[in-house]
Structure 1
Amino acid sequence: MSDADLKDTSEELEPVRGAYAGAPGDPDDPETDGAETASEPESESLDEDNRLKAEYVRAVKDALDEEDFDRVYELVEPLHPADIADLFELVDSDERPRLANAIRDLMGVEVIAELNDWVREALVEALPADVVASIAGELDTDDAVAMLEDLDEEDQRAVLAEMEPEDRAAIVSALSYPEESAGRMMSRELVAVPETMTVGDLIDYLREHRELPTEFWEVFIVDPMHRPIGTCALSWILRCPRNIPLYDVMAREQTLIPADMDQEEVALRFQKYALISAAVVDDSGRLIGQVTVDDVVHIISEEAGEDTLLLSGAGDGDINEPIRDAWSSRVRWLIANLLTASLASGVIAMFEDTIARMVALATLMPIVAGLGGNAGTQTLAVTVRALAMNQLTASNAWRAVRREMSIALLNGGTVALVIGLAVTLIFGNPMLGGVIAAAMMTNIVIAGMAGVLIPLTLERLNADPAISSSVFVTMTTDSMGFLVFLGLATASGLVG
């Protein structure tokens, strides 16, 4: 790079250096000695794990009970918006409206965006439509959509009617995409410029247009049809001479996200390609928004917890979820388990005479079924995770089945040897020890097979394997465990 180019670049960087002069905490700033930090005002409210202290929450609740709203404001005012959002979760539901009223000036868009979905929904429903519309207009599109998408259709229409036409059109467009899709979660606040610009043109454009987003990491380069053809990171823009065309410095390799792509797949793309942001395109390939890594962090957390909760049938699993909703989501899986348990009970009924002649069988049956269930759950958890992470696909499905069967054989052999010797010593009956060892070996192998084949089958049928796999695996291991154990006991002549 020539001396002239270096001089040109340094002139562009100078205003950036100046922007940090006198920043809070700057040791050269005469107004501060640099010792004060943002965390100091919060030290009385946060513990070493950065969680709100129990005594601090009690102090806020006491002030609310005494209707000392000035004291409430004084306690809450130093908190970061994310910590204020946490505070709303920690107080009782009937205290939240009073807390919101007491700190009305602090209830900015940053707090609203950080609120738990259930807490935010309850607060939003209690606010007038014009107030909600005002808040939504200040939020990024993705946060505004998250705030409005769970409202009743009537309330949603009322809020949209109060919004500015441009904001309303953006939210209506986002709501037209499927739930948990890239179109719902994308932000429309981005910077896109034509390929004909130079680096200098772009820098001037960024400085002159105040309506551009205040935070972004890269600039999207688009063709005349507004289709993304490349990206320029801000670090490249700041370090390149002004006269270089963007077409020459842009990165042509980019990951494009279809608007209807599921958010879990979006997160996997970010993880696989180490993305910070990515363009979202419509069916015609036009740029309509972007997804950023901060959104993906939330998705990864959501999806990881969601799959675990689906396996257990616990619904959303959020402690702020209304009791009626939690009951509804959980009880249907308990009813399903009741039906599958009835099947296992039917198997036991087939061998009533065998059990009556040897009571020890009744003592040992739960061990066979229980260990088979645990083995099936282990395999199921591994398989569902592999499917969710795209580690398990049609190309390696049978290799995964063979792997899990090998593990099941090893586990079954080990556990069968231990339980067979233990039963022989305790009951003094080698035949009983051999029967339970064979039953345990068989049931653990069946459990391993069920744990991998059931979710693979559901995935092939385009059903979420996390939702109902556990019900089928439990039914299989319980029923087959009882059937194999009692059947072997009967067939072997163990019971005279």
Structure 2
Amino acid sequence: MEKSVTTTPILSDATIARQTLAKIHRFLKTENYTKLQKTIESLHYADIADVLEVVSLEYRLEILKFIPRDIEAEVFLDLEPAIRSELLNYVSPDAIARIINSLESGDTLSFIEDLTFEQQTDVVRFLSKKEQAFLNEALSYDEGTAGRLMQRELVAVPRFWTVSQVKRYIKTADFLPDQIFNVYVIDANHRPLGYVSLSELLKHDEDEKISHFMQKDVFSFSIETLQKEVAFYFRHYGLASAPVLDSNGRIKGDITLNNVVNLIDEEAERAFLGLAGAANSDIHMSLLKASTNRFKWVMITAFSSILSSYIISKFDKSIEQIVALAVLMSIVVAIGGSVSLQVASVTIRALSNGEFRLVRIWYSLWKEVQVGFINGVLISSILVIMVLLWYGDLSLALVFGVTILINVIYGSVMGLSIPVVLFRFNYDPAISAPPFLIPACDMMGYGSFLYLATLYLI
């Protein structure tokens, strides 16, 4: 949600940002609340959110008292979810309801989902009947669908309206979104007949009917459409907004580019953190939550390391006879793991934005085998020469080179297939793939190198 505010962004200049933060800290420490209020009121809502994220909880609660009511909703929306949830524990139910009532419907749902069940129960009592009805309906839609992403506010007019009538409607209606991309033309049953962009509307005469120049090819989504599919089609077709239809083809809401940009950002962050073995960004979480968030992934890594160590222990006599194996096996594992993570990153991104097609899985798999073979030959050729110069043992160098080739191909195949299989069974590959991918490559790397070395060198 965006509003026109007469405040100046400070974080575009790092020096100004530091000076402003220093002033806020000084006013808080000296309890100079008059100057603190003036400073807070002069800031853009995004900068107030940034300030709240870098100060202590005690100072956050003090700053909350001086946030102007006309931008408090935007401030809360701009906060990191962990900080927002923490602060909402100190806000009264009627104040939360006031914030929710000032939000657009699309933001209302994401805001209410951050509340605990007890908070939701308390807050609902202070909401208007209209907001209560909206929330009950919106929460009935499945998570991750267009129904949860859409906003109810949109401009929909009958086909016989003129440009003048549409403009007057936009000026006088008090339930429209802050940003309007398209005007939808509907029939008597509220089904879309076409649309007109706001810029196109301004080009035509006041008395011209909107149906004369509307675009008839309306790209729409059903309520059950997955959000990742929505993001893909917005990017693929360059959409600015698109209506969401119910089972009878009637418009229930609108999805705009702003909604989709936020969705893409969240997907990208989840994919990035997933490859690092983290489900959520925990920089703003409490110590307990951050520890819990990371503990399970650390334990998975620990168990996989134990399995890898067990494989190594089976070849301890080989390592005793050829000490170079202990030096070189870590290189094999590192290269195989690096290749698998590269392929997994590309695959997860393609799956998340809809670019990857499961019907082309065999083509993609064969392509990765070919790419892995080419890279494997190049990498192993270079490393064979290095090992030969290092140890002066041609047999050791050849075994090492063959193992590198095997693991590069294996890493390429695993980097593609594991995320795809998890995606096929409705698991989030960004979070679920790394715990399977890394141990698989580690065990293959250690096992293949030590086995071939034992077979041909001892």
Indicate whether the TM-score tops 0.5.
yes
Q: Which residue of 2 aligns with 1:8?
A: none
Conserved 8 A contact 2:279-2:431? no
Q: Which residue of 2 aligns with 1:48?
A: 13
- Give the CA deviation at 1:86: 1.5
Matched, 1:148 2:112: yes
2:169 to 197, 205, 226: 205
Conserved 8 A contact 1:347-1:482? yes
CA distance in 1, matches of 2:213, 2:282: 47
Aligned residue-pair number: 455
Cα–Cα, structure 1 residues 427 and 213, in superposed 2: closer, same or farther, change >3 Å?
Answer: closer
**What is the TM-score normalised by the length of structure 2?**
0.93
2:44 to 52, 61, 80: 80
CA distance in 2, matches of 1:416, 1:245: 70
Cα–Cα, structure 1 residues 156 and 334, in superposed 2: closer, same or farther, change >3 Å?
Answer: same
Cα–Cα, structure 1 residues 229 and 380, in superposed 2: closer, same or farther, change >3 Å?
Answer: same
Q: Which residue of 2 aligns with 1:108?
A: 72
Matched, 1:391 2:392: no
1:405 to 330, 346, 369: 369
Cα–Cα, structure 1 residues 176 and 323, in superposed 2: closer, same or farther, change >3 Å?
Answer: farther
SS of residue paired to 1:131 = helix
1:428 to 371, 378, 392: 392
- Give the CA deviation at 1:215: 3.6
State, as a whole percentage, how many aligned pairs show the same letter. 32
Q: Partner letter of residue 177 of structure 1?
A: Y
Cα–Cα, structure 1 residues 47 and 332, in superposed 2: closer, same or farther, change >3 Å?
Answer: same
Q: Partner letter of residue 13 of structure 2?
A: E
- Give the CA deviation at 1:156: 0.2
CA distance in 2, matches of 1:417, 1:470: 29
Cα deviation code 1:175-213 (max 9, x no counterpart): 222334322232111111222323343334344545544
CA distance in 1, matches of 2:195, 2:320: 76
Q: Partner letter of residue 111 of structure 1?
A: V
- Give the CA deviation at 1:457: 1.9
SS of residue paired to 1:84 = helix
CA distance in 1, matches of 2:353, 2:261: 15
1:192 to 153, 156, 161: 156
Cα deviation code 1:76-129 (max 9, x no counterpart): 222111111121112223321111113355653232332222222222221111
Conserved 8 A contact 1:57-1:90? no
Q: Which residue of 1 aligns with 2:283?
A: 319
CA distance in 2, matches of 1:291, 1:128: 31
Q: Which residue of 2 aligns with 1:20?
A: none
Conserved 8 A contact 1:52-1:83? no
Q: Partner letter of residue 19 of structure 2?
A: E
CA distance in 2, matches of 1:214, 1:360: 67
The structure with the larger Rg is: 1
Q: Which residue of 1 aligns with 2:245?
A: 281
Over aligned residues, Cα RMSD in angstroms? 2.3
Cα–Cα, structure 1 residues 215 and 357, in superposed 2: closer, same or farther, change >3 Å?
Answer: closer
CA distance in 2, matches of 1:59, 1:207: 41
CA distance in 1, matches of 2:435, 2:108: 37
- Give the CA deviation at 1:372: 1.0
Conserved 8 A contact 1:181-1:262? yes
SS of residue paired to 2:65 = helix
- Give the CA deviation at 1:490: 1.2
Cα deviation code 1:234-261 (max 9, x no counterpart): 2333322344333332111122122233
CA distance in 2, matches of 1:130, 1:421: 73
- Give the CA deviation at 1:158: 1.1
Cα–Cα, structure 1 residues 172 and 247, in superposed 2: closer, same or farther, change >3 Å?
Answer: same
- 5+ residue gaps in structure 1? 1-23, 25-36
Conserved 8 A contact 1:275-1:293? yes
SS of residue paired to 2:413 = helix
Conserved 8 A contact 2:146-2:227? yes
- Give the CA deviation at 1:214: 5.0
Cα–Cα, structure 1 residues 144 and 210, in superposed 2: closer, same or farther, change >3 Å?
Answer: closer
Q: Which residue of 2 aligns with 1:360?
A: 324
Q: Which residue of 2 aligns with 1:32?
A: none
Cα–Cα, structure 1 residues 469 and 223, in superposed 2: closer, same or farther, change >3 Å?
Answer: same
SS of residue paired to 2:232 = helix
Cα deviation code 1:335-374 (max 9, x no counterpart): 2222222221221121111112222211211111111111
Q: Which residue of 2 aligns with 1:445?
A: 409
- 5+ residue gaps in structure 2? none
Conserved 8 A contact 1:307-1:466? yes
SS of residue paired to 1:192 = strand
Conserved 8 A contact 2:344-2:419? yes
1:223 to 187, 190, 193: 187
Q: Partner letter of residue 198 of structure 1?
A: T
CA distance in 2, matches of 1:161, 1:179: 24
Q: Partner letter of residue 336 of structure 1?
A: I
Q: Which residue of 2 aligns with 1:333?
A: 297
Q: Which residue of 2 aligns with 1:34?
A: none
**What is the TM-score normalised by the length of structure 1?**
0.86
2:215 to 251, 272, 289: 251
SS of residue paired to 2:153 = coil
- Give the CA deviation at 1:46: 3.5
1:454 to 405, 410, 418: 418
Q: Partner letter of residue 356 of structure 2?
A: L
SS of residue paired to 2:154 = coil
State how 1:61-72 maps to structure 2 within 5 Å: 61-72=25-36
